Amino acid sequence: MNDQQILSQAQSMIHAEANVVGDIADQLGESFVLAARMIAESTGVVLTTGAGTSGTIAMRMAHLFGTTGMHSFFINSATALHGPSAMTAPGDVLIAISKGGSSAEINQFAALARKRGAKVISMTWEPESELARLSDVVMIIRPDESGEGDGVLPFGSTLANGAVGDALCLVSKNLRGFNLDTMIETHPSGETAARIQEMHD
C-alpha cells in the first residue's frame, strides 16, 4: 500500500467505528433502564466479567463504577471457577460481556452467580444464547458488522460495549446521587479532580 492507501484505510475504519457506536444509542431501550436501576440499587458488589477484548472492556467498566463510588471490580471468568465464585451473594450484580454468549466459563460463572442469589446482566449480540437465558436482564449490543476489522475482528463491537458501559456508569451514578465533589478527595492524581476543582472556582 502507498501512504494515501494507508491513511484511507485507517480513516475508513475509524469512521465505521464511530458510526456503529453512534447507532448503538438508538438501540437502547427498556433493558438498559432495568440494568441501570439494578446496578444503582445493588446493595452488594457489582462484578464484571468477560474474556478477550470483552474482558478488557469489563475491566474498564469496573474501574469506572469504582471511580463513581460503587463497590465494583473485575473478575476473570476462568479464575472465578477456581473458587472466587463463592464470593457472589444476594445483593450482588454480575455484568457479563460476551459477543456470542457461548463462552463456557462465562456462562458457568453466570449460572453460579445466579444460584448464589446474585443478579446477572448480560451484554451480548445473541438474544437466544445460553448467556442470555442465564441472565435477569439481557442487553443486546449488536452494532453493524461494518465496524468490525475485516468484518470479523471485534473493533466496533468492543467500542460499542464500552460506550454502553459508560452510559450505565453515568446513569447509575446519577440515580445513586453520587457527588462529583467526592472525586476531589478520592481521585487526587490526574486531571479529573483538577477539572472538578476548576468548575467550583
pLDDT in tens, 17-32: 999 999 999 999 999 9
DSSP three-state, residue 47: strand
Q: Quick one: which H or E segment has residue 77? A: helix 77-80
DSSP three-state, residue 97: strand
pLDDT band at 184 (very low <50, low <70, confident <90, very high): low
45-67: pLDDT as tens digits? 999 999 999 999 999 999 999 99
Out of 3.40.710.10, 3.60.10.10, 3.90.1150.10, 3.40.50.10490, select the CATH number for domain 3-200: 3.40.50.10490
